[in-house]
Structure 1
């Protein structure tokens, strides 16, 4: 390769490559999230000899083009990578070549090299892009894809028959590129596209040329109704969302038979149109084709075979029947193709569930994984539409899907994943989450891996907390969402729980924290004062517990309800008759619900804080001033006063209460229910008896 094609410095190479990656990855028409890879070749000094060596910078295993940073690049010596051709043992042993990449790394090598590294290193061009555009995969999965490629591109783009990603595919593409010097890239059968160029700009331009040309051809020549006639119109939006919220917990529980999952709901026009048409059962059964797609969506989705207006009870019953059949079919698929050295079956539950008229439910180990699985199935729908519009959709064979799904290299990637956090896959709903104990609890649960719904009467405060929790995430709403709710309103509580279900698939952990207090003597307490405090704390906790218990029972996955009660539930102090009585009501709800819901695996426990002054919405709203007056201390010293009257002489902070909630909800107390945990630094008069 002529040296003139290579930038002179590492900085030039990396900056050009990252810029190109970000531009390509920012447009979903070019490639899916975390799909595809880009590379560049250049020179850098060998750290031992000081002499310039040729290097390859290529996106490493995992990561996303749109957000790629330098640590996400693998860096390899080209001379050593290309020398692997001389020791390549053949396609039957090509998995060994990934381990051989370790001997080609430059210095520490950066990120782990991906299976596509050979494609980038062996092609004799300074820059290479491998992408998964929907339009390109539509041609790649068409029954006559090779002929279509010639028709669309002439000799400018070459067809490469399906081959599993790996070293041999790299050799194939390199040979085709060398044999077709006027070609700018290739369509990989069943898979995607690859383009190359002598400059970064040329490579990017050629990638976009292939993608946009394919899009234009499909738009101009494709049939307008490739999925057939409409057989069932989608439900109206309000009805659709209500039905989705009713079905989602049931479906999530089914999809979590082997391992707990979080859910994502999609009702985009592409999905609703696909599910409204006659051909969707046939096409869905064929499954996806691109390896990036089916690794996240499984080989095929579960499809409900009832009309959108079928009775809800019948839909739930049918989903259970179809789920049992899906598990049997998936187990048979595994047994048909598994060999003595195959990894164990990872689970037989669907990752994608399609409900005509309603939309798509997708599942994963966290919200991002669930959302991305849904996005990949939308990609697959677009691929099917394109292929069917000009030909017939033909994905890669089932046996090839199995080879990739249960590839030892994929298993090794899974083993490298970090250990899940304690509350991973748990969906938490925290009332009064906009400040004080609620905000601290929401933050703690999210830090421990939970998806959090921050619920508060002050929606702005809830949104601020949710934004803080989600800061730094690829998509903040994958971690936390905010809902506005007055817990005294049966309708608003139901709406908030529906919002939680549509956001994450269900509810597993409820923290009944919403509260307020008015510090008044018996004679000064009005009926309105009494009703307000009981409405918020006693009635509100009851409404939230009742609505979320319905969801937990439908999920059949157990769950936790934690009441933030108070020392005042068991301690008689002056001038708080309404507050203390409401807290006593909450405390007994814990016992009553623990007894009633235990048969469903739902644990109900409580936390009894005291003297939580700093950060407290209750104290800031006048309660602190009143309590300071009652005790004859300055308000700013109230926390210190409370601390000094405890056995431990320690001030209680919102974070201490949040820690108790976490302990109650985590697995170490899995056999505990009906418990009240004091978080008061030791108040002997409030000891439980």
Structure 2
């Protein structure tokens, strides 16, 4: 099938072969179209917009054919939409709701009535946009939030610009909060203007449609392409973009270093009410805006599209580049800026609230702009923090386009509040799953790709933490596996040499840039050498001391610097060994290093207590399955020491314990979890043996 246009500003992704495979299944084609539209962030942002199709189904009660609308359900994302994420409703019943509608003051009561229009009672929950699709006569409808269209929709002269581009083939509806009344207005404007190809919602977004999934897809792409091309022609035509640059960016390396140094402090300040995770970007579009003359004028205007400010708050916190470059006083400046932002946000709430408004939410900024460096965003989880950055980048694109052709207008403050504190939005927030025990926390696990280390990573991820697995090898495969199981935003791998301070600094920097800071440090990197005294070389001694003792020292030293900047405590867990307590044969170098690890933990616990940083130790013994240290000569050495075969080692170790149980990597991970998830929040300097019960290792 030929493209109807050569697209330069949107992605044409339609695969006719794939479409032919789905032919005959209108819902499958609708899902396919939705996924293609959601795959291009220039067309709509994550979880933004919605799509629909109307088909004929057989009524299960009457057996008669009925028109049913399939539409994206509440809270879904068209890029990843499946049938399970759709609501399906009787179109006739949606129209009959007009008889129940009592006016704008009673908008919210209509949402509950959508449930009575469901064709399949087990389908996804209908969204507030359902009537905007259901009351229109078209079979296939796309409602998107493309930056290029919102730029026009948020322009002072938006309606005039619309007519200049599309003539009478597009219609304009002024800003109004989504709901049943907006659906009625869409129905009316379409009925009064035959031949329309779409409608622009002022300050909000775009509605387009077609008789088939493909025609709707093409119509949508064409309209967005035409809008983007119009903006492109006008960038810099009458004045420089954003008034031109006011300052230059730091170099990429300098931006990265400056961001990593500041992020833990920002995270601590942003986490006044709950622990937040951070995201940093120095995308060229962001730098163009934050380095410009127009930053001071445009940033306070806030965002326009409801999807934008629901995730970014109405406006960002903008830092003063000159103050941030000073050698002293930055900490006090940041504290004052955060406090001023909280007071301003609280005043906005008090000015705008209604008698039944939900309580004031977290008044800390979500978006923080540092001219010359980049943008920081903070949220309850990494995905939300990343998406907030994407949405504010969308808002920057909108401001850029609007300023190129007219004058940018944010939503009026009261309208913004009415969306942000909408009771329906509050209900959606209340329905979200409760946070897990480690939600909002970042774990840094050395030796993270080995048997014990990887088990620790998985256990912490299962309980809601973001995890950085640092090690020397198996990095790509470990990261891919963890991201596949626990989400792409939640896991990272990084190369480390725990004997080298620069290598540690780089892996800590990667952690901070990825997640905003860290909370949990697990020193699990290790190796084992089992030899009699006479056969132990100085090289054996040195490498054990370097990896186990110096490694634990250097990692803890650099991690504590980050923890102190955040100023809300943290947890260090050191994986030592039963051999740190028990004297065994042929083990002088390894046992000595493990004993040093154990006592260093106690020393750090004593020093770091005033910072609310807890330091505890887990002592494993004989974790054979999957452990890296048993892949080398260690197993043979221990088998020789005990006079058994390597194959018999697991049974040998299990038999000598009080419980007669083999110790697994997962058992060690559970012990780490107990120390870090606040089950033992008032425990520091302690030792937990996970060895099946070795009486000689009892701490006494």
Please tell me whether residue 549 in structure 1 is matched to residue 560 in structure 2: yes
The corresponding residue for 1:619 is 630
Q: 1:282 and 1:558 mapped to 2: Cα distance?
A: 38
| Whole-Å separation in 2 of the counterparts to 1:378 and 1:426 | 26
Is the aligned partner of 1:40 residue 2:49? no
Task: Give the deviation of 1:551 after TM superposition.
Answer: 0.4
Q: Report deviation, 1:318.
A: 2.1
Residue 199 of structure 1, CA deviation: 2.1
* 1:416-455 Cα deviation digits (max 9, x unpaired): 1112111111100000011111011111111111111010
Q: CA deviation at 1:63?
A: 1.8
The alpha carbon displacement at 1:545 in A equals 0.5
Note the C-alpha offset of 1:527.
1.7
Give deviations 1:95-137, integer Å, cap 9, x for gaps: 1111110010112251111110010000111111100000000
CA shift digits 1:622-652 (9 cap, x unpaired): 1111001100111022111101000000000
- TM-score (ref. length: structure 1): 0.97
Which aligned runs of 4 or more in structure 1 are off by greater than 6 angstroms?
Answer: none
TM-score (normalizing by structure 2):
0.95
SS of residue paired to 2:437: coil
> For residue 446 of structure 1, what is the aligned residue in structure 2?
461
- 1:585 shift after superposition: 1.1
Q: CA deviation at 1:586?
A: 0.9
Counterpart CA distance in 2 for 1:58 and 1:627 is 64
Q: 2:224 & 2:579 partners in 1: Cα distance?
A: 67
Aligned position for 1:77: 90
Of 660-669 and 464-473, the range deviating more from structure 2: 464-473
Residue matched to 1:5: none
In the TM superposition, 1:501-516 aligns within 5 A as 501-516=512-527
- Partner in structure 1 of residue 372 of structure 2: 357
Displacement after TM superposition at 1:669 (Å): 1.1
Q: What is residue 236 of structure 1 aligned with on the other side? A: 251
Pairing 1:413-562 to 2, within 5 Å after superposition: 413-458=428-473, 461-471=474-484, 476=488, 478-562=489-573
Q: Aligned match of 2:642 in 631, 640, 651?
A: 631
User: Counterparts of 1:274 and 1:53 in 2: how far apart (Å)?
Assistant: 51
What is the aligned counterpart of 1:195 among 197, 202, 208? 208
Which residue number corresponds to residue 332 of structure 1?
A: 347
Q: Call closer, same or farther: CA 1:314–1:271 in 2, change over 3 Å.
A: farther
Distance 1:497 1:233 in 2: 28
| Cα offset, 1:313, TM superposition | 4.5
Q: Where do residues 86-485 of structure 1 align in structure 2 (5 Å cutoff)?
A: 86-223=99-236, 225-307=240-322, 310-311=325-326, 313-458=328-473, 461-471=474-484, 476=488, 478-485=489-496
SS in 1 for 2:573: strand
Q: 1:669 aligns with which of 673, 680, 687?
A: 680
**Deviation digits for residues 344-403 of structure 1, max 9, x if unmatched?**
112101111111111111112211111000000000000000001111110110101111
2:79 to 66, 70, 95: 66
Backbone CA RMSD of aligned residues: 1.5
Q: For structure 2, which runs of at least 5 residues remain unmatched after alignment?
A: 1-21
Q: How many residues align?
A: 678
Aligned-pair CA distance for 1:11: 6.6
CA–CA distance in 1 between the matches of 2:46 and 2:331? 32
Residue segments in structure 1 that go unaligned for 5+ positions in a row: 1-8
State the secondary structure of the residue aligned to 2:535: coil
What is the deviation of 1:255? 1.1
Name the CA distance, whole Å, in 2 between partners of 1:579 and 1:158.
77
